[in-house]
Amino acid sequence: MIDINLIQSLMVTGLTRHESELYVALSREGELTGYEAAKVTGIPRANVYQALAALVEKGGAYLVEGSVPRYTAVQVEEYCKNVVDHIKEVTEIIKMECPKGRKPYEPYITISGIKHILDKMKNIIGEAKERVYISMTDKEFDYISDELEKAIKRGVKVVAIASGKLDINGAIVHYTTKASGQIRLIADSTEVLTGCITGGDQDICLYSKNKPLVELVKDSLKNEIQISELKGDK
């Protein structure tokens, strides 16, 4: 039985579902004819030959010439390397050629879903040059502790406000009482992310470089730090 996560991951690289299933089958079985590939995958023969041809064109398989055409998978290490190299080339083209238009009129951006929120948090921390102030419970810190430690190694000052035990080497940690899920993040006093996360697709956070909002959240974080220091919980 084929692992659904494997098929979905292959589809992210640009293969269709049938092409992904064929790639797995060729990797497992070795060389196969179109008839054999249809038999082991259950894909209709009418669709197999078209999918095999597309898989060859996309760099996932080779055509072995002979009296009966046979197909073999490109080794997984080679296929993955080619995918990564191609993505790098494509992203460079996008960055170079995409028009640099006017800044969005809206000063606030709503980010929905835990995956997108975490991606944004990691990007903010990864691009920080001087300082990062972040307030969450210890549970939420687990999501981005690696990024914070990398930032500290780059020389970025990291100040964390948490409600439970936190183990991030090099960070200045203040302890206070916080409601689970509430997050506030400021980087270099220029951008802010604030909202609530529960780990689901319904999570929503607000991101902005709007100076009044940055200052508002900064003042809120200062108050949390002052309360922590008054309690002696540093």
Residue ranges and CATH numbers for the domains of the chain are 4-94 (1.10.10.10), 108-231 (3.30.870.10)
The low-confidence residues of the chain, meaning pLDDT below 50, are none
Looking at residue 233, its pLDDT comes to 55
What end-to-end distance do the CA atoms of the chain give, in Å? 53
Residue the block writes with tokens 């940690």: 173
Closest CA to 52 of 37, 68, 31, 30: 37
Residue 25 parent element (H or E): helix 17-29
Report the distance separating Cα 139 and Cα 182, nearest Å. Answer: 11
For helices 17-29 and 45-57, angle between their N-to-C axes, nearest 10 degrees: 80
Q: Is the dihedral of CA 206, 103, 133, 213 positive or negative?
A: negative
Taking the model in full, what pTM does it have? 0.65
* Three-state SS annotation for 45-73: HHHHHHHHHHHHHCCCEEEECCCCCEEEE
- The two structure tokens encoding residue 153: 């190694």
Looking at residue 193, its pLDDT comes to 94
By the 8 A CB rule, do 191 and 184 touch? no
Looking at residue 73, its pLDDT comes to 95
Using DSSP's 3-state secondary structure scheme, residue 218 falls into helix
Looking at residue 168, its pLDDT comes to 86
Looking at residue 140, its pLDDT comes to 83
DSSP-derived pairing of the beta strands 157-162 and 131-135: parallel
Looking at residue 122, its pLDDT comes to 95
Looking at residue 103, its pLDDT comes to 62
Maximum CA pair distance of the chain?
Answer: 84
Using DSSP's 3-state secondary structure scheme, residue 102 falls into coil
Looking at residue 104, its pLDDT comes to 55
